[in-house]
RNA sequence: GGCGCCAUAGCCAAGUGGUAAGGCACGGGACUGCAACUCCCUGAUCAUCGGUUCGAAUCCGAUUGGCGCCUCCA
C-alpha cells in the first residue's frame, strides 16, 4: 500500500502507527448552507480510502467534523431570520441525509464544535501556558514565531508570506501571520472563556477534535488541497506545540472540482448544490464521475462527463441484475469458483488501489470484469462449471462495488417469475411470438430481461 | 511577488525512461422472430521548442495556455 504524502510530496509505503489500525480524520463542512458537489469530492474519495483499507483488513476509525460555529452561519442566520443554532441544525440534517444518498459509510464520530467548547478552551489555555499563544484584549492568537518549521506542509517561507499578508486588522498581533484561536465578539452566538465572551477560531476545532477522538497523532489526515494553507498548516502548528509529535503521519489532499473549466464560485453563479444534483441523478453517478479521475488531479465537471458516468452506472447495474437473474433461474447448487482469470482481475484491482488509490485503474478493472461477465452470460446454454464460475464473477463484482462504494440494488426472481420465463421460452420455441411478447412484457415490467 | 498543480484521440482518462491501458461517442459487423441488453472490429506519438539518453509522453530547461493557494471556499 502506497500513499502520496502531501507533507513530503512523495509516495510512501503505508505503515500504520499501530498494526492493523488506521486513524483517519477528514475536515468536514461548515453548515451554513447546503453543501455543493465540490464538497462531495473529499467525502466520496475518503469514503473509498476507508473502504479499501477495511477491505485490506485494517480496522479504520473515520472521523469527520461538523463546523457549526462560524461567521458565515451567523450571517446566514441573519438572512433567514432564525437563530444560528437553527441554521446549523437545518444544514447538518441536510448534510447527513446527503451523505446517506451518496452511499458514504457512517463516520465513527462526527463531532460538532458546539459539543467541544470545553475541550477547545482547555486546548487554548494549554497553548498559552506553553508560550505558544497570547491574549490581547479578549482575543487569543497563536505565536507562530515560536515554531521553527511553520509552513512546512504548504512549503511556504515565512518571509514570503509576510509580504503577502494583509496589513489591516492585525495591529494587535505580534506578527501579522499569527492566527486567531479565540475571537472576542459581542454579536452572534458566544461562549464564556477565561478571556471573556467570544468564539473559537476555525483552526483550533479540528486539532481539538482529533486529539479528543483519535489522540495526538493519527495515521491519515485528509481534506481539499485548498485547506493546506493556512488551515492544515495551523493544525500542525497547534498540535506540535502541545503534543511535540507530528499531528498526522500521512497528509492527503484531493484536487479541486471545476465546472466547465472554471472555478465554482458564487460570483460566477455556477455553484451546483449536491441536493440539486441528487434530485436529478443517482448518487452512484457522482461517485463514478469522481472516481474516474485520480483524486489528486483537478476534476472538470461537464454535462458530457456526467452523461458518460450515468451510462456506465447503467451498464454496471444491468450486468449485475442480469447475472443475478440468470443465477436465480438456474439456481445451481455448489460453490462459486474463482478461476485464474478472476484471481488476476482481483489482484489487478487491489494493485490499482494500493498504488495511492488509483481509482481510474480500479474502474478499468471493473469494466474488464463486466465484459467478462457479459461475454459469458449471453449464452443460453451453460454448464454447471460455468454457472459456478458465474457465481465467482458475481462475488468479485460485489467486492468491487463494495470497495468503491457503489450501492446497486438488484432484485431476485420469484417462483412466479421463473414460471413466466419458462412459459415465454416455450412460446418462443413454438413460434408463438405474440404470446411470447406478452410474457416478455410482463417480465420486463418487473425489470427482468432474461 | 512567493508556493504549487495541470496540458495525452471528438469527449472522459491511465501510464512518470523502453516503441501510447480502459471507457464514452461516431462508423462497420455479429447475435435476435422483432426489440432491449450484449459482443467483435476501427482511431492518437502524448501543448510548443530545445537538451540529456542507445532509447522520453515519461528526466532537465525554456515557451504558450489554464488552474489553485498565499483573505475562516473541500
pLDDT per residue as tens digits for the range A234-248: 999 999 999 888 899
CA of A426 to C1' of B73 (A): 63
Rounded to 5 degrees, φ, ψ at A34 are -65, 145
Strand A257-259, strand A299-301: pairing: parallel
Q: What percent of chain A has pLDDT over 70?
A: 96
Mean per-residue pLDDT for A412-430? 90
Q: Which of A248, A290, A386 is nearest to A46 (CA)?
A: A290
Q: Which pLDDT value is given to residue A171?
A: 65
Q: Which pLDDT value is given to residue A167?
A: 46
Which nucleotide is at minimal CA–C1' distance from A69?
Answer: B72
Q: Which residue has the cell 455553484?
A: A271
Mean per-residue pLDDT for A390-415? 94
Taking residue A197's Cβ as centre, other Cβ atoms within 10 Å add up to 12
Q: Which pLDDT value is given to residue A144?
A: 87
Residue A349: pLDDT above 90?
yes
Which nucleotide is at minimal CA–C1' distance from A159?
Answer: B2
Q: Which pLDDT value is given to residue A262?
A: 79
How many residues in total does chain A contain?
A: 450
- Taking the C-alpha atoms of residue A206 and residue A196, their distance in angstroms, rounded to an integer, is 22
State the cell numbers at A7: 507533507
Q: Which of A158, A219, A222, A247 is nearest to A14 (CA)?
A: A219
Q: Which one has a higher pLDDT value, A166 or A287?
A: A287
Which nucleotide is at minimal CA–C1' distance from A202?
Answer: B72
Residue A410: pLDDT above 60?
yes
ipTM value: 0.92
Q: Which one has a higher pLDDT value, A268 or A410?
A: A410
Which nucleotide is at minimal CA–C1' distance from A229?
Answer: B69
Q: Predicted confidence band at A177 (pLDDT cuts at 50, 70, 90)?
A: confident
CA of A346 to C1' of B45 (A): 32
If you measure CA to C1', which residue is closest to nucleotide B25?
Answer: A308
Q: Predicted confidence band at A159 (pLDDT cuts at 50, 70, 90)?
A: low
- With beta carbons less than 8 A apart as the criterion, state whether A12 and A5 touch: yes
Residue A94: pLDDT above 50?
yes
Scanning A25-183, the segments in alpha helix (DSSP H) are: 37-55, 71-80, 84-101, 117-129, 158-164
Q: What mean pLDDT value characterizes chain A?
A: 90
CA A203 → CA A3, A182, A349, distances in Å?
Answer: 25, 10, 37
- With beta carbons less than 8 A apart as the criterion, state whether A207 and A235 touch: yes
CA A59 → CA A22, A23, A28, A62, distances in Å?
Answer: 6, 9, 21, 10
pLDDT per residue as tens digits for the range A441-450: 889 888 888 8
Q: Predicted confidence band at A164 (pLDDT cuts at 50, 70, 90)?
A: very low
pLDDT per residue as tens digits for the range A103-134: 999 999 999 999 999 999 999 999 999 999 99
Report chain B positions within 7 A of protein CB atoms: 1-6, 11-15, 21-25, 33-40, 66-74
If you measure CA to C1', which residue is closest to nucleotide B35?
Answer: A437
Q: Which pLDDT value is given to residue A161?
A: 63
- Taking the C-alpha atoms of residue A38 and residue A30, their distance in angstroms, rounded to an integer, is 13
Residue A136: pLDDT above 50?
yes
CA of A320 to C1' of B9 (A): 31
Burial A297-309 (b: 16+ CB within 10 A, else e): eebebeeeebeeb
pLDDT per residue as tens digits for the range A22-59: 999 999 999 999 999 999 999 999 999 999 999 999 99
Amino acid at each position: 500500500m502506497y500513499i502520496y504524502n502531501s507533507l513530503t510530496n512523495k509516495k510512501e509505503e503505508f505503515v500504520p502507527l499501530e498494526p492493523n489500525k488506521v486513524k483517519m480524520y477528514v475536515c468536514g463542512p461548515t453548515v451554513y448552507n447546503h453543501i455543493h458537489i465540490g464538497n462531495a469530492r473529499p467525502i466520496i474519495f475518503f469514503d473509498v480510502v476507508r473502504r479499501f483499507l477495511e477491505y485490506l483488513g485494517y480496522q479504520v476509525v473515520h472521523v469527520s467534523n461538523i463546523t457549526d460555529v462560524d461567521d458565515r452561519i451567523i450571517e446566514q442566520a441573519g438572512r433567514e431570520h432564525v437563530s444560528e443554532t437553527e441554521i446549523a441544525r437545518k444544514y447538518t440534517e441536510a448534510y447527513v441525509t446527503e451523505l446517506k444518498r451518496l452511499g458514504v459509510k457512517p463516520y465513527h464520530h462526527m463531532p460538532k464544535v458546539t459539543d467541544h467548547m470545553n475541550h477547545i478552551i482547555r486546548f487554548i489555555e494549554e497553548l498559552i501556558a506553553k508560550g505558544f499563544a497570547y491574549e490581547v484584549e479578549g482575543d487569543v492568537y497563536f505565536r507562530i514565531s515560536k515554531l521553527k518549521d511553520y509552513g512546512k506542509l504548504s512549503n511556504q517561507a515565512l518571509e514570503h508570506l509576510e509580504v503577502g499578508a494583509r496589513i489591516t486588522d492585525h495591529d494587535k498581533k505580534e506578527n501579522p501571520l499569527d492566527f486567531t484561536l479565540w475571537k472576542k465578539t459581542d454579536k452572534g452566538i458566544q461562549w464564556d472563556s477565561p478571556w471573556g465572551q467570544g468564539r473559537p477560531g476555525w483552526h483550533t476545532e479540528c486539532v481539538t477534535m482529533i486529539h479528543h477522538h483519535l489522540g495526538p497523532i493519527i495515521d491519515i489526515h485528509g481534506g481539499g488541497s485548498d485547506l493546506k494553507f493556512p488551515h492544515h498548516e495551523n493544525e500542525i502548528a497547534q498540535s506540535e506545540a502541545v503534543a511535540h509529535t507530528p499531528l498526522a503521519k500521512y497528509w492527503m489532499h484531493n484536487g479541486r472540482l471545476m465546472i466547465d473549466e472554471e472555478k465554482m464560485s458564487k460570483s460566477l453563479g455556477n455553484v451546483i448544490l449536491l441536493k440539486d444534483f441528487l434530485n436529478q441523478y443517482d448518487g452512484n453517478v457522482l461517485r463514478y464521475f469522481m472516481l474516474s479521475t485520480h483524486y489528486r488531479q483537478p476534476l472538470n465537471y461537464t454535462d458530457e462527463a456526467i452523461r458518460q458516468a450515468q451510462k456506465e452506472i447503467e451498464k454496471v447495474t444491468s450486468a449485475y441484475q442480469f447475472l443475478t437473474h440468470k443465477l436465480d433461474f438456474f439456481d445451481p447448487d455448489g460453490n462459486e469458483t474463482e478461476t485464474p482469470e478472476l484471481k488476476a482481475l482481483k489482484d489487478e484491482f487491489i494493485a490499482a488501489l494500493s498504488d495511492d488509490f488509483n481509482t481510474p485503474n480500479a474502474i478499468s478493472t471493473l469494466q474488464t470484469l463486466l465484459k467478462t461477465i457479459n461475454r459469458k452470460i449471453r449464452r443460453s446454454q451453460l454448464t454447471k462449471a460455468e454457472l459456478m464460475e458465474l457465481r465467482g464473477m458475481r462475488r468479485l463484482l460485489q467486492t468491487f462495488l463494495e470497495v468503491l462504494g457503489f450501492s446497486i440494488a438488484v432484485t431476485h426472481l420469484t417462483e412466479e417469475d421463473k414460471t413466466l420465463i419458462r412459459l415465454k421460452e416455450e412460446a418462443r420455441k413454438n413460434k408463438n411470438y405474440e404470446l411470447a411478447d406478452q410474457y416478455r412484457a410482463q417480465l420486463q415490467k418487473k425489470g427482468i430481461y432474461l
